[in-house]
Amino acid sequence: MTLPKEFTTKYKQLLGAEAENFLATFTEKPVAGFRSNPLKKAQQSFENPIPETPWGYYGKVSGRSKEHVTGLVYSQEPAAQMVGQVAQPSQGTRVLDLAAAPGGKSTHLLSYLQNTGVLVSNDISSKRSQILAENIERFGARNVVVLNERPERLAKVFPGYFDLIVFDGPCSGEGMFRKDPEASQYWSIDYPKECAALQKSILKPALDMLAPGGRLVYSTCTWAPEENEDVVDWLLQEYDNLELLNIPKINGMVSGLNQPQTARMYPHHFAGEGQFVAHFQDRRSPEESNYRPARSNISKSQLEDWQTFAKSYLKVSLSGILQVFGDQLYLLPEDLPDLSKLKIARNGLHLGTFKKNRFEPSFALGLALTADEVKQSIDLDDDAFRRYVAGETINLEEDRETGWYQILVDGNGLGFAKIVGKVIKNYYPKGLRFHS
């Protein structure tokens, strides 16, 4: 990789004697990682754990593997995993992931929330928000909505609402040069300053959404001080209610430049790519936020159809707000304001579709439920899995009672399918099908 000359000069000045080791890492391969999903059932232990992390591992996972398709694993670079680990939301809290696509940090936050509280996962790009929604669906969480909005519009709906805000800011991307060498060609000496200005413009409405006594985790995947320590200094100057918290330095993290509380990840110290993280506490006294709650709009007949399905096939009662859009039924987390004025990419958990006098369960519901939460399930072996994700009908050796069954792969859900006699009809989404 050929780095921009001004970039090399800049980091020789910033890092001094360490610069040679730092610059040498750009000739090395990037470090891959993934996380296991505690919402799913693991049949095996993974190798090469990332030290001092609850779910992190070094290595690559195939997008066509059983583990990926059922949401048991999520690919995420090791340094990026430190953002969610610093945030560590408590169960039952309200969390905002402000610039969330493609979903690594959101799914990490959901691992800590354990289907409690609420996560609002937002991305301003409509295309990226759809990818985000797909990744969250596969992860199988129930307590999350995905929005596609500008922060100014979010702030009008969520004033002082969130206990925790995670903002991984759009940045110059220096820490990703090794993974994406082409990104270095877009870099210029002034680019970090331009990015810092954008980050500040987003942080202003973001801080309007932070509840008194809440926390803010600010991160970038760059080493530029203009986008890191300088933005931290700006926040502390602009908001006297914010206090900088210390981040424990693990696995080769180092302190920020003249900021011992913040954390930097350099590839010559930390086995991963580049990252910066700062952790803030709001010092105001906690208070209750007032908001207009979201309401159910389900009709009596639709509710009866849903309840008939749930009584026939589920062992659990799902709590939340039932909302209907067209013929689609969704379950929203209970602790949410009215979202009707916002652009929604995923309106909570998609439960399914109303057909004539009946209810048909969604693929998402079959991903989110565990095997002990349904009355009927069938576990596919490796050969049947390969044929099912390719769109084939599966033939059984013995008759089964006609009805809906959760499809399981190694104990984890892969949607619902209808079984008639000895035949599993294929309900795997056409847009996801592949041949392995």
**Residue position matching structure tokens 């997008």:** 63
Q: Is residue 356 part of a domain?
A: no
| Tokens coding 245 | 């918290």
- Looking at the domain assignment, is residue 347 inside a domain? no
Which of left, alpha, beta for 388 (phi over 0: left; psi -120 to 50: alpha)? alpha
pTM over 0.85: yes
Q: What is the CATH number of the domain that holds 50?
A: 3.40.50.150
- Shared domain check, 267 and 163: yes
pLDDT in tens, the chain (436 residues): 789 999 999 999 999 999 999 999 999 999 999 999 999 998 778 999 999 999 999 999 999 999 999 999 999 999 999 999 999 999 999 999 999 999 999 999 999 999 999 999 999 999 999 999 999 999 999 999 999 999 999 999 999 999 999 999 999 999 999 999 988 988 999 999 999 999 999 999 999 999 999 999 999 999 999 999 999 999 999 999 999 999 999 999 999 999 999 999 999 999 999 999 999 999 999 888 788 899 999 999 999 999 999 999 999 999 999 999 999 999 999 989 999 999 999 999 999 999 998 999 999 999 999 999 999 999 999 999 999 999 999 999 999 999 999 999 999 999 999 999 999 999 999 999 999 8
User: Domain check: are 188 and 54 in the same one?
Assistant: yes
Tell whether 274 and 380 lie within a shared domain.
no
CATH at residue 387:
2.30.130.60
CA-CA distance, 343 to 347, in Å (whole number)?
10
What is the rounded distance in angstroms from the CA atom of residue 380 to the CA atom of residue 65? 14
pLDDT at site 357:
87
Are 23 and 154 within one domain?
A: yes
Q: Which of 229, 257, 282 is the last residue of a domain?
A: 282
Cis peptide leading into 333, omega within 30 of 0? no
Calculate the alpha carbon distances from 20 to 23, 25, 142, 265, 308 in Å: 5, 9, 47, 16, 67
Instruction: Please give the DSSP secondary-structure letter assigned to residue 396.
Output: E
CB atoms closer than 10 angstroms to residue 306: 21
Domain end: 247, 264, 282, which one? Answer: 282
**Cβ-contact 425, 396 below 8 angstroms:** no
Point out the residues that are catalytic. 221
pLDDT of residue 95: 98
Q: Is residue 319 part of a domain?
A: no
Is the residue at 338 inside a domain? Answer: no
What is the SS3 assignment for 135? Answer: helix
Q: Are 109 and 84 in contact (CB under 8 A)?
A: yes
Given 230, 259, 282, the domain boundary residue is: 282
Helix pair angle (78-87, 104-113), 10° resolution: 40
Is 15 a domain residue?
yes
130 belongs to a structural domain = no
CA–chain centroid gap for 119, Å, is 9
Boundaries of domain holding 425: 376-436
In a domain, 202, yes or no: yes
Task: Report the number of distinct structural domains present in the chain.
Answer: 2
**Residues in the annotated binding site for S-adenosyl-L-methionine:** 99-105, 123, 168
